[in-house]
Structure 1
Amino acid sequence: MNPADWIDTATIPPRPLPPTVEAALAYLAEVLGHPVYAHWTLARVKRRYGSLAEAKAAQPAVLKLLLAHDAAVEYWERGRLRTVPAAQAPSPETVLTRLLHTHRRRFQRAAAPTATTLKPTSAPAAPGPWLADQDARTLAWLARAGRFAQPHAATNTLGATDDAQALALFLRDRAARSAHTRRAYGAELRRLMAWCEARQLGPLSDLSRQHLLAYRHALQHGEGRGNTAAPGNRPLAEATRSRALAVVASCYRFWYDTGYLHANPAAGLSAASRARAGFTPTRWLPPALMAACDAWCVTPVPDGADALVARRQRAIWALFRYAGVRLAELAWSAEAGLPRLEAETLGRWTLYVRGKGDKRRAIPLPAACVAIVRAYRLARGLPAEPPAHEALPLIHGNKGEALQAAGLYRELKTLLAAVAAGLADNDPAQALLLRKASPHWLRHAYARTLVVDHQVPLPAAQALLGHASVQTTAAYAKTDLSRLRDFVDATFIEDGP
């Protein structure tokens, strides 16, 4: 018999038994938790136990038989361990066959090769939105299976025949609920594929651990940005490297757990958890610049300017400023009907958004934000107070369509540039900082206002920000040098005369 034709279905993923009878018996002894077959001689007993006295204490039945016979055999049969002379013992193949029959619900024989071997597809498949956007050359590169791919249907529970299908199933499982996550995962997978193509490696299921360690080294030394290790390429930031390796490790772990791969070359590749533990937000607008933008938003619209455009830009600023939303959360989704405003009572508004992982959350808006957004609604010809179950895009474009992420980003940058122009003469450094700001800077500023300035409890701040982990929210509470200086000054302030 060929033990490799039998599949252990209790493991994740299911795996075939070792190819030799001796190795298969040793495997069964390990997974079943009891001895299954052992061939004893006096020489082996002495090697195992050191002395006959210890052997007699540990194996009295075996030693008794060895006094009268050249060899003895222990084997498992019908729920107990039997000890007989070697001449009377069944063969190892017989013991293995009986055990497999006894545990037939767990150990199943693979079907005929024509049914168990997954045949490669004749043409590259492109299921899923991310793969559908790839060119034919990329799809052809992916439509292969490497040396670590598992061809047996009994062990390959993913059912993929090549990397293209396996990658589509990975993205569907891990990134289907969020377009932002899908784009981020896709960008990191493209980075790895470009690195492989430049070195004539691939497909992904053919990469060894040495290849992935070389890829990690390339990211650390600026060789992972393009197809070549050009001297001008700078090393990636630590957070970017951690994200890139975390995506790669997640993909290979998913493939291994579902049986598409019979080995995981990316095990231990990523230190994403340690990187997240060390996450410290550093980019936000200082209070003085926030106040300058707030002042700009309450000034009258200049003569000759398009009042509706100006009100729209100010409303976008106010929503980022006072709700701390992500850019993608403020983009209109017709399917979800979000983001949406609801007015509980006069002047008490709540913003409903869809965050990462399709999680929805409610964000109360302060009066300062309500006033700016109300002015925009009136300029748009909408009621001052949002009616119940209003199903209109929150922010509109010049042609009346919903303004999506790119448009929201562009409008906010236009407002920041206008405020920066007013600061350029007196404070060019602050004007430059304002021009560099992005919507996520305002999210960091919102979080810092909650956690540091007003000491909002972390669970409440986590709910407002939509963080999956409270540790991410707690990162904003880390004290910087300026606050340490304030603490020291307040502690050692000189007493008055």
Structure 2
Amino acid sequence: MNPSDWHDTGCRPPQRLPGSVEAALEYLAHALGHLLYLRWTLTALKRGCPSLADAKREHPAVFALLLEHDTAIEYWERGRLRVVPEAAAPSATTVLERVLRQHRRRFRQAATDAAADSARGSTVITPDAALLPAGVGATWVARAGRFANPVALTNTLGVADDTQAVRLFLRERASHSPHTLRAYVTELRRLAAWCTRERLGPFSDLTRRDLIAYRDALQAPGTDDAGKVRRASPASVSRALAAVSSMFAWWHRTGYLTVNPAEGLAAGRRARMTWTPVRFLPATALAHCDAVAAGDAPTDVPSTVWARRRAIWTLYRFAGVRLAELVWYEERALPRIEVDEGRQWTLHVTGKGNKLRAVPLPSSCLPSLRAYRRVRGLPDDPPNGEQLPLIHSERGRTLGASGLYDEVRAVFALAAARLPPQESAMRAALERASTHWLRHGYARTLVVDHRVPLPVAQALLGHASVQTTAAYARTDLTQLRGFVEGSFPDND
């Protein structure tokens, strides 16, 4: 292979990799923050350490191999460093190809950029993604309805059909967050499918009566494949209507529509001030889960997988992050850990609205995180500038949201299985619990148990409104009663 055919798109402007394999590996090691390929001899080991005793202490695996072999190779594979005799090691070119393939979103081959974009489009949603579900023709949305504004002077979007208008809406309102974009595309596809069944459309042709009928259809009960009657939750209906209303309102403001048929469509939704979190695990259940996670690995779980599971549990349990906030975001090298002079850790994540947030981690959770790093062949504390995913899959790549969720659910399942038979209520709660229950528990610990000031708790949780943070105080009447009793003491 020719490394100079590849570009690093993680810097601006994109930079071409060096032409030789050795120089390219050195560049990637610097860019990614960890060693990729190093050839060890006893002479090289002595050169880097003051004495053999120091060499044995700092590089024990390398030292042991060099006692029996002339040369050892230390290389990066599947998220960790490995050391083997030279005869058993892959070539430097093979390691380079693996790393480039693993980080293919950042390092792109110039000749295949277009093909990579096409292949990646099947799994990554972009503002230009196809909006239509199966069975809906492309010409259905590539039209302008009766409410589309044909006057170029007032139509500031400068487009003539719904396809282009939808793309501009998604770029303007949803491209800042892949999660928001995915939600908007899902809801617009659902509306397109309903319009096709009702022989309506395109979007710019829908009347207020049409959209009210759509709202009624969302709320109506239906049957699933098993024949069971299902009804959408109020929250899911609210999200669907909010996405549709947002698009029509934006189209009207920008002049693409002459009227807004969705005005007031989402009215009557539950006000944010009345939102109250209800999915909590009792303190005894959380303590039981913590004890299970801190214990030995089950016999059917490899030690490396158990170390990773403990680390994932620790981050969700003691950082209060959302599920997607621990998914690796290569373009920003987030989430990442920053270590201060006192060896205290701070977790940096990207929250809703693409907002950065720093969450100090308590000292009690650091042993499990450091143990996981040691299993991966990394130093206990992340060095400055390290750009590695916090969590790796067994194949050396990163875990997505579903993989992270499954690991937390595995801890809940193991904790439920280790409960005595009489604890049926706690077992049922653990079987329903998810990562967001841990976030609720983290928030309740701050607001209710330790009475952390609401602005501080809001910053730690990444809430857009302090009213959301204050809602946790309403989950405990004991605290509210204490405030009232202290304000109006008994004078008798």
Same fold (TM over 0.5): yes
- Whether the 8 Å contact between 1:242 and 1:272 is mirrored in structure 2 is no
Residue aligning to 1:113:
none
Read off the aligned partner of 2:307 and give its amino acid letter.
R
Matched, 1:250 2:246: yes
Q: Distance in 2 between matches of 1:380 and 1:258?
A: 52
- Whether the 8 Å contact between 1:246 and 1:272 is mirrored in structure 2 is no
How many residue pairs end up in the alignment? 365
Residue aligning to 2:365:
369
The correspondence for 2:261, drawn from 249, 260, 265, is 265
Give runs of aligned pairs for residues 139-218 of structure 1, distance below 5 A: 139-218=138-217
- Whether the 8 Å contact between 2:132 and 2:138 is mirrored in structure 1 is no
Matched, 1:219 2:218: yes
The correspondence for 1:471, drawn from 462, 467, 470, is 467
Read off the aligned partner of 1:416 and give its amino acid letter.
F
Residue aligning to 1:358:
354
Residue aligning to 1:453:
449
Post-superposition CA distance 1:158-193 (Å, at most 9, x none): 122211111111111111011111111122222222
Residue aligning to 1:324:
320
Of stretches 349-358 and 420-429 in structure 1, the one that deviates more from structure 2 is 420-429
The correspondence for 1:441, drawn from 426, 437, 440, is 437
Aligned CA distance change for structure 1 residues 272 and 174 (closer, same or farther; 3 Å) = farther
- Whether the 8 Å contact between 2:448 and 2:479 is mirrored in structure 1 is no
Matched, 1:232 2:229: yes
Residue aligning to 1:393:
389
Residue aligning to 1:334:
330
- Whether the 8 Å contact between 1:147 and 1:206 is mirrored in structure 2 is yes
The correspondence for 1:296, drawn from 292, 299, 309, is 292
Give runs of aligned pairs for residues 74-93 of structure 1, distance below 5 A: none
Aligned CA distance change for structure 1 residues 337 and 203 (closer, same or farther; 3 Å) = same
Give ranges in structure 2 of 5+ residues lacking alignment. 1-124, 488-492
- Whether the 8 Å contact between 1:395 and 1:403 is mirrored in structure 2 is yes
Task: Report the aligned-residue RMSD.
Answer: 3.0
Q: Report the alpha carbon displacement of residue 481 of structure 1 after superposing the two structures with TM.
A: 5.8
Q: Report the alpha carbon displacement of residue 219 of structure 1 after superposing the two structures with TM.
A: 2.6
SS at match of 1:241: helix
- Whether the 8 Å contact between 1:130 and 1:182 is mirrored in structure 2 is no
Q: Report the alpha carbon displacement of residue 479 of structure 1 after superposing the two structures with TM.
A: 3.6
Residue aligning to 2:82:
none
Bigger Rg over Cα: 1
Q: Distance in 2 between matches of 1:386 and 1:477?
A: 36
SS at match of 1:342: strand
Aligned CA distance change for structure 1 residues 315 and 222 (closer, same or farther; 3 Å) = same
Post-superposition CA distance 1:285-341 (Å, at most 9, x none): 221111011111222334564111001111111100111111111000111100001
Q: Report the alpha carbon displacement of residue 404 of structure 1 after superposing the two structures with TM.
A: 1.4
Q: Distance in 1 between matches of 2:315 and 2:328?
A: 14
Q: Distance in 1 between matches of 2:281 and 2:157?
A: 47
- Whether the 8 Å contact between 2:473 and 2:479 is mirrored in structure 1 is no
Q: Distance in 1 between matches of 2:229 and 2:294?
A: 46
Aligned CA distance change for structure 1 residues 276 and 131 (closer, same or farther; 3 Å) = farther
Matched, 1:137 2:136: yes
SS at match of 1:345: coil
SS at match of 2:215: helix
Q: Report the alpha carbon displacement of residue 231 of structure 1 after superposing the two structures with TM.
A: 9.2
- Whether the 8 Å contact between 1:127 and 1:168 is mirrored in structure 2 is no
The correspondence for 1:411, drawn from 404, 407, 413, is 407
SS at match of 1:352: strand
The correspondence for 1:383, drawn from 379, 391, 395, is 379
Q: Distance in 2 between matches of 1:150 and 1:334?
A: 41
- Whether the 8 Å contact between 2:251 and 2:257 is mirrored in structure 1 is yes
Of stretches 402-411 and 273-282 in structure 1, the one that deviates more from structure 2 is 273-282
The correspondence for 1:402, drawn from 398, 401, 404, is 398
Q: Distance in 2 between matches of 1:396 and 1:450?
A: 30
Q: Distance in 2 between matches of 1:484 and 1:363?
A: 27
SS at match of 1:151: coil
- Whether the 8 Å contact between 2:276 and 2:475 is mirrored in structure 1 is no
Post-superposition CA distance 1:83-139 (Å, at most 9, x none): xxxxxxxxxxxxxxxxxxxxxxxxxxxxxxxxxxxxxxxxxxx98343378658353
Post-superposition CA distance 1:3-51 (Å, at most 9, x none): xxxxxxxxxxxxxxxxxxxxxxxxxxxxxxxxxxxxxxxxxxxxxxxxx
SS at match of 2:271: helix
Aligned-pair identity (%): 54
Aligned CA distance change for structure 1 residues 140 and 368 (closer, same or farther; 3 Å) = farther
Q: Report the alpha carbon displacement of residue 243 of structure 1 after superposing the two structures with TM.
A: 1.7
Give ranges in structure 1 of 5+ residues lacking alignment. 1-125, 492-497
